[in-house]
Amino acid sequence: MKVIAVVDEDDVLTPLEYGNTIVEIDTETKQKKFYENPGFGSPFQGKERAMAGILSLKADAIVVKEGVLCPGSYMMSKGKMKYIPVEEEKLEELEAKLDEKSKNAQEELDFNIYRE
């Protein structure tokens, strides 16, 4: 499974527009690919720009926690990928548990996760 996470320069999981890097993790091979986030630092539609870049990667799922998505980015991605709710803050913490977490990927999210 290809899983996306958006992180800042300290590898902290962030809302889409605050992370400078999109990380694609292959749960089978454990390989990571890094991409520049097109929505980074954008005060207007940053999350939507980031999501457009993420969707172009054709990943299976994205790691989310409260505030990562907005209604617009959620609607853009709904039906195109699954969502993996997490509590972890750092990418390193998440990677250690990703196999288990990816088993709980969801087709839809509770409104509280993507509300603004």
Q: Which CATH class is domain 2-114?
A: alpha beta
Q: What is the pTM of this model?
A: 0.94
* pLDDT per position as a tens digit, 48-59: 999 999 999 999
Q: For residues 38 and 35, what is the distance between their CA atoms, to the nearest angstrom? A: 9
Q: Kindly write down the DSSP assignment for every residue of 12-69, as one continuous string.
A: BB--TTT-SEEEEEETTT--EEEEE-TTTT-TTTHHHHHHHHHHHTT-SEEEE-TTS-
Q: What was the pLDDT predicted at 116?
A: 81
Domain spans, the chain: 2-114
**What are the residues whose beta carbons fall under 8 Å from the beta carbon of 20, sequence distance 6 or more?**
7, 8, 9, 36, 37, 40, 41
